[in-house]
Amino acid sequence: MNLTRTLSRLMMLPLLAALTLANTASVPQRYSLDASASNVSAKVPFFGLSSKTAMFPRMEGAVTIVPGAPEKAVIDVTFDATAIQAPDSVTLARLRGDKFFWVEKYPTIRFLGRSLKLSSATRGTVAGDLTARGVTRPATLNVTFTADPVAQAGKPVSFTGTTTIDRRDFGMKSYQLIVGNKVDITLKARMVPK
């Protein structure tokens, strides 16, 4: 009788191990953004001959990735529009004013990504919404991770996300003969496990 029970228990060990691994694999991996190693840049054509880049150095956010279910991923990043930096004082004043980001009225910009579609272990797209100047529009980030975030669970991982928007969609319609309408946005962020 004891031998039968012992054999039954031994036979159950591989099944229990497999179930444990399956449950661990589906546990959401939660990260917070390391603000000291993260920033956003916005590059826009200038006079059709060159470009100007504004920086948003202050942000906060969280990322959740569900192993085996990337479509459930959430990337929630808010950056401080009042901290915007520009290459010169005239550009900075304009960007902070009511013709562009109007930081006095709209002090933050937010990207909320609700689905991650991976094309490889370290590349994919995040579909979500971008909110600026009180206007929310769909936006898709093309993301590249420095390492597989699932395989690196419990360790810091960095990623770069890029997208292009039309500033007019967010009510920024001034200076169209000088400033281009398409804005290339790059988000660089370091994720730290919670």
Say if 20 falls within a structural domain: no
User: Which 8-state DSSP code applies to residue 71?
Assistant: G
User: Which 8-state DSSP code applies to residue 144?
Assistant: E
pLDDT tens, position by position, for the chain (194 residues)? 555 555 455 455 444 444 444 444 578 899 999 999 999 999 999 887 889 999 999 999 999 988 888 889 999 999 999 999 999 999 999 999 999 999 999 999 999 999 999 999 999 999 999 999 999 999 999 999 999 887 877 899 999 999 999 999 999 999 988 999 999 999 999 999 98
Beta-bridge mates of residue 33? 191
Tens digit of each residue's pLDDT (9 = 90 or more) over 101-157: 999 999 999 999 999 999 999 999 999 999 999 999 999 999 999 998 878 778 999
- Which residue range forms the structural domain that includes residue 51? 28-193
Say if 103 falls within a structural domain: yes
Structure tokens of 68? 């085996």
User: Which 8-state DSSP code applies to residue 28?
Assistant: P
What's the CATH number where 160 sits? 2.40.128.110
Query: Closest Cα partner for 163 from 19, 77, 43?
Result: 43
pLDDT for residue 49: 81
Query: Closest Cα partner for 42 from 166, 143, 177?
Result: 166
The model's pTM is: 0.83
Contact between 165 and 185 under an 8 Å Cβ cutoff? The reply is: yes
Question: For the chain, what is the domain count?
Answer: 1
Query: Closest Cα partner for 146 from 113, 115, 123?
Result: 123
Please give the radius of gyration of the chain, using alpha carbons only, rounded to the nearest integer. 22
Say if 51 falls within a structural domain: yes
- Provide the Cα torsion 41, 90, 82, 192; round to 10°: 20
